[in-house]
Amino acid sequence: ALVHLERLLRVWLPPSAAWRVHHLVGLTWRELGNVVRARTHHTAALSIMENLRAGLAMHGRRADHALTQRAVYEAAVDAWVGRSSPPPPHHHRQEAFAAAQGLKASGGMAWLRDRASAPQSPGDSRSIRQERALLERLAVEGGSDVERLAMVARLPEIWHQENRASATSPAIPSTSAVGGMLEEGTVLTEFLMGEQRSYLWVITRTGDRIVYLPGLNEISPVLERYQETLLMPAMNGAQRATHFQAGRELARMLFGPALEDVVSARRLIVAADGPLHGLPFSTLIVADGHRDAAPDYLVRHVPITQVPSAAAWWALARRPRSGEPRALEFVGLGDPELVDGLAPLKVDVEFGEEGVTFVASDAGARRLPRLPQARRELSAISSLIGRSQARVLVGLEASETRLRTD
């Protein structure tokens, strides 16, 4: 049966069917132990899917396309790096990294990539755009149904050509390219979370490595238990013990042997994935014991920046600097002052199979204390950055309305 499927791929298939066949054949070869042939088919499936994404971008479907085909990207990563011994070579790690970035790519990523690219000469891209515009008009206004169908069939190819002609830089950078943009002492961590196994790329200016992590089937219970403690307005002794134990366990699970590198970094950049997007990494507890009667949170060791993906960070870092005055580099809100001195709502959190539900009510409102230390911290940050490049909103100015209108 597998041989017949591979023969089927020698004839032309619609792209929407071809990637599915390649994915199925790749999974089968993987189960049979032939990783090399599995990689060939997974790579082909990803290539077809990326071409489809180029066409779908015009209709705002790019992100949906990536989400619905997540299993293909995860299978490709697993085929390239898997749980192998010895560790996979660099080019295998790079193929897996590219697949992970493809999974996270969206229309926004393409927007950033285009603006990070050098200006294009008109050339072929102009004629492609003109042909695309003509075909789109004729597909709507054409004569017979047969003629319109022919125009519609031609459009995906044109969309793909237009996408390739407009790209002056690779959509997905290599780990070396990302590392080359990092400052000395900065560590970028890229997560890819799978149900059975997960992966972590650790990238620095001098190199990269991959760390194997447990799957979400192991991580999710610890993550949910820890997030529950974070949402508690106050903790008793047992709850504090749960908070410490879950936060410490989660840090070990998410960083594994790379935890020491993360803690000692000068700056940490985190590209989360899946349910980790809702985790404040700064609160992870990275050591046993306490500091100043409080858990040893990660934020005490290293400043943290969270980004959508390594590719998104790379595209932003490559943007050309213009001679125009820079916009504000820092806007901070803190030490809010409520008009009536009372918290207007009490928020209850309910955990269920569908996710987390926040329920607000007027009952049980309690007085909130002021936060003078937050005001001092914001003032200090503003002084370090330069007051002309920073804006601090405190007291009555620390409101959503003021932030949106300024």
For the stretch 275-295, pLDDT in tens is 998 899 999 999 887 766 678
Instruction: Place 91 in a pLDDT band, splitting at 50, 70 and 90.
Output: confident
Q: What is the pLDDT of residue 74?
A: 86
pLDDT value at 119 more than 50:
no
302 touches 263 (CB < 8 A): yes
pLDDT value at 199 more than 90:
yes
CB burial readout 69-90, b (16+ within 10 A) else e: beebbbbbbbbbbbeeeeebee
For the stretch 343-353, pLDDT in tens is 445 556 666 65
Overall average pLDDT of the 248-272 stretch: 95
Q: What is the pLDDT of residue 62?
A: 46
208 touches 261 (CB < 8 A): no
Q: What is the pLDDT of residue 30?
A: 81
Overall average pLDDT of the 373-390 stretch: 85
Upper half-sphere CA count for residue 209 (Cβ side, 13 Å): 12
Burial class from Cβ neighbours inside 10 Å (0-12, 13-18, 19+) for residue 169 reads middle
What are the percentages of helix, strand and coil residues in the chain, rounded to 5? 55, 15, 30
pTM beyond 0.75: the answer is: no
- Work out the mean pLDDT of the chain and round it to a whole number: 75
Overall average pLDDT of the 173-195 stretch: 93
Overall average pLDDT of the 364-369 stretch: 57
